Structure 1
Amino acid sequence: MYSPILSIVCVFQNPSYPKIANSHAESYLRFSKDKFSHRKKQRKDAKICDESTNFAVVFPIHVISRKMYKDKNLTGHLCMFAACAAWGLMSPLGKDAMAHGISGLALVSFRAVGAALCFWLTSLLGRHKEDVAPRDLLMFFFAGMLAIVFNQCCFTIGLSLTSPVNASIVTTTLPIVTMILAALFLKEPVTNKKVLGIFCGAIGALLLILGNGHAAQKGNGNLTGDLLCLTAQCSFAVYLTIFKKLIQKYTVVTCMKWMFTYATIVILPFTYKDLAILPWAEIPATTWFETAFVVFVATYLAYIMMMTGQKLLRPTIVSMYNYVQPIVACIVSVATGLGVFGWSQGAAVLLVFGGVWLVTQSKSRADLKTEHPSHTDPES
């Protein structure tokens, strides 16, 4: 017996999940006319779903929006927003955890090991096993180095050396670096809309960062720390640009389990001392809860969302969502009474989302080839 509240299976690691979810929606619409036909269709869809997935997150909702499942861009944007929102929440929670007994390198170890275990458990519980070519296993190693090891370690160490304001300002370079790399390696056009969108987003993010008067009092900048934070942004930009085809070839869980496995193998030899001297018994329960949030929500779930967005969106658009993190941090500070929401914050939010919209509306290389088969004009 079916209730109006349906369980929609969103298969994040399979590019064909909108088709599967939409098939379930169509079956439900036919249910009132022909129960037998619906049950037969349901069994067929269940078989397809079992054969093509090994990870699913079930969301009960009241109304099915078929357009949402058909529009892959909308799904990609929602996934990227959710991932960056989780990373934005991770910043205050992670800092509080590091202030109460968890060192920065220990937190990096927890993220790598915890996420690797979660992804392997998800893979083992799934019914579909995916084989990975030996050459691609090597590629996953380099992808893990860029997206996880260099990105997390360089940023964590850099943040410990420089001020939070400097580190936040350096993070605004990610879309710029990604746009340049996408133009060099993927031959993506550097359009006027794309440049204007990145500029608007950067101005909005800087308004939020520099508008936080308390942050400027936390310490002075450090050139080494700033360079490490910049290295973290560059490594992630290279990952977004170079490994897009590899990511599209395999499911999300397959990609993530190998990338985090390699990252764990590389990270642990450098961080095990921090884990050994950790005062486990003296760390309060609240700090462990914050650490669990960083590992499960801001790493495991956030990387699933990020990888799904990377499959569906262009690298420059994915990198633009980096500007969402200061917005989330601002909202958290206002909600906890540590900050106020004024006109400058409102203008910054509009600039960030306006910038994302402009980059989204800019024409890709494929769009220009479709419109002008013999000529591609990047001025659009």
Structure 2
Amino acid sequence: MSKNLKAHLALFAVALIYGANYTIAKEVLDNDHLHPFALVLMRVLAGAALFWLFAAFFIREKVEKKDMPMLALCGLAGAAANQLLFITGLKYTSHINAALVMTTAPILVLVISWVILKEPIKLRKVLGIAIGICGAALLIIHGKKFAYTKSALNGDVLIFCNAMCYGLYLVLVKNLMRKYNPLTVIKWVFTFGVVFVLPFGTLELLNAPMNTFTPQVWMAIAYVLICTTFLAYLLNAVALKHVSPSVVSIYIYLQPLLATSIALMLGKDVLTTTKVAAGILIFSGVFLVSKQ
């Protein structure tokens, strides 16, 4: 199996993890079991601990001091700011608005890659992103209504800033992935992420009523910490060693499609021709951007 194919399989797995997360994370946040900032702190703490543990067993690699500022910036953009902004944005806007705003992420990655990495903007990639946006938007808004309020606008701005942070992280971390093992990079990204999130989530985590959590809530938290955090970030990091940031970002369009597929399998959604058309558009967009 080629390294390029392994990278795409890793990215598909990430999209599947995030697709399932739409349903699972609701168990934690929608029922007010845990303050959003507390959940973000739990994620970065668990991520840092797991990545350091695995790195201790599988890779021992020293990082040059000159790379520490870049790792700190990646920790700020990729582990702290993007999660805090997304969680806060969801307070003010709807899940539909948030999902639509997040479709701008591949565009932002393409532009940032062009500015920082000097990666050429090819017509094929632009076309693929455009088709992917159409498919994702069609799937997200199908049978739903938008929220056009001042509060929603504030939330949309925060979600857009989250998309920018995510895009910046993917581009900045690319050169570090070329130089170091993914485990080495990601353990430092999460270490700095803990530092940046601590001021926001410490009190909320200490005051969390964990004694009232049901087994289902703990299982949902475990999924968020192990799958959505540890596995998703690790697989993304591995993929970034072999494909461009724009290819990694385009897989975001698969998330609503996979979330819908999971809902269909659980009997919580109905298959329609619109959803089939959206799926075809999304896969076409991913194919065009991923094509060598």
| Matched residue, 2:50 | 118
Give 1:159's aligned amino acid. L
Secondary structure of 1:312's partner? coil
What does 1:45-124 correspond to in 2, within 5 Å? 68=1, 71-100=2-31, 101-124=33-56
Larger Rg: 1
**What is the Cα deviation at residue 149 of structure 1?**
0.7
| Matched residue, 1:289 | 219
Secondary structure of 1:157's partner? helix
What does 1:350-361 correspond to in 2, within 5 Å? 350-361=280-291
Q: Are 2:247 and 2:290, in contact at CA under 8 Å, matched by a contact in 1?
A: yes
Aligned counterparts of 1:160 and 1:286: Cα–Cα separation in 2:
23
Aligned counterparts of 1:225 and 1:218: Cα–Cα separation in 2:
10
* 1:171 matched to 2:102: yes
Secondary structure of 1:167's partner? helix
Give 2:23's aligned amino acid. P
Q: What number of residue pairs does the alignment pair up?
A: 290
Q: Percent identity?
A: 34
**What is the Cα deviation at residue 80 of structure 1?**
0.8
Q: Are 2:100 and 2:140, in contact at CA under 8 Å, matched by a contact in 1?
A: yes
Secondary structure of 1:106's partner? helix
Q: Which has the higher contact order (CA 8 A, sep 6+)?
A: 2
- Residues 144-171 of structure 1 show CA distances to partners (whole Å, capped at 9, x for unaligned) of 1111111111001101211111000001
| Matched residue, 2:113 | 182
Q: Are 2:92 and 2:155, in contact at CA under 8 Å, matched by a contact in 1?
A: yes
Q: Are 1:208 and 1:326, in contact at CA under 8 Å, matched by a contact in 2?
A: yes
Structure with more of its chain in helix, by fraction: 2
Structure 2 stretches of 5 or more lacking a match?
none
Question: TM-score, length-normalised on structure 1?
Answer: 0.73
What does 1:1-380 correspond to in 2, within 5 Å? 68=1, 71-100=2-31, 101-126=33-58, 128-213=59-144, 216=145, 222-361=152-291
Aligned counterparts of 1:197 and 1:188: Cα–Cα separation in 2:
16
Aligned counterparts of 1:280 and 1:242: Cα–Cα separation in 2:
37
- Residues 69-107 of structure 1 show CA distances to partners (whole Å, capped at 9, x for unaligned) of xx2211111111111211121122112211231221111
Of the structure 1 ranges 93-102 and 106-115, higher mean CA displacement relative to structure 2 is found in: 93-102
Give 2:220's aligned amino acid. E
Aligned counterparts of 1:218 and 1:298: Cα–Cα separation in 2:
27
Secondary structure of 1:338's partner? coil
Q: Are 1:208 and 1:327, in contact at CA under 8 Å, matched by a contact in 2?
A: yes
Q: Are 1:164 and 1:218, in contact at CA under 8 Å, matched by a contact in 2?
A: no
Secondary structure of 2:62's partner? coil
**What is the Cα deviation at residue 271 of structure 1?**
0.8
Give 2:43's aligned amino acid. R
Give 2:285's aligned amino acid. G
- Residues 210-230 of structure 1 show CA distances to partners (whole Å, capped at 9, x for unaligned) of 0153xx489966111111100
Secondary structure of 2:168's partner? helix
